[in-house]
Amino acid sequence: MLRKAQIRDVKNIQKLLTHFASQGDMLSRSLSELYESVRDFYVWEEGGRLLGTAALHIMWEDLAEIRSVAVAEDAGRRGTGTRLVQACIDEARELGLKRVFCLTYKPNFFGKFGMRIVDKSELPHKVWGDCMKCVKFPDCDEIAMILDLE
């Protein structure tokens, strides 16, 4: 079941994100950050177990980031990630945003939504706030992608 995250989900969201962060696939998020941004998150739950998550984080009046996309390894390849990202895109459109972007190691996955690869320099400097926390900064090897919603 796809739904907006609730406070009770935060520790499980963190557990899922930490698993992939430990592999270098994404940034880890502190409990404090997750509680502050819980309204950004969607979750996929089956049988009382949180199997996936994704967040739509508004950056500016016309731009949001799709971030923290993670699906439990034993739940992959069932469309869970697709449904989570599509929910973020749908919400971005409902909010009247003009563009969404992501930083990813999975360009083929995000390309299915019509996202295109762009040079990171095309993104406003504001988006780099989280990058300062990354062990790979300033030598980021993630791929920047953007989707025009208009």
Q: Which residues contact 88 (CB under 8 A, 6 or more apart)?
A: 42, 54, 55, 56, 64, 66, 100
* Range(s) of the domain holding residue 37: 2-148
For the beta sheet containing 143-148, the strands, ordered from the edge strand earlier in sequence to the opposite edge, are 2-4, 41-46, 49-60, 63-71, 99-104, 143-148, 116-118
pLDDT in tens, 99-109: 999 999 999 99
pLDDT for position 75: 80
pLDDT for position 71: 96
Is the per-residue pLDDT at 113 higher than 60? yes
pLDDT in tens, 29-72: 999 999 999 999 999 999 999 999 999 999 999 999 999 999 99
CATH code for position 77: 3.40.630.30
**CB neighbour burial string for 42-74, b if at least 16 within 10 angstroms, e if fewer:** bbbbeeeebbbbbbbbebeeebbbbbbbbbbee
Number of structural domains (the chain) is: 1
Is the per-residue pLDDT at 127 higher than 70? no
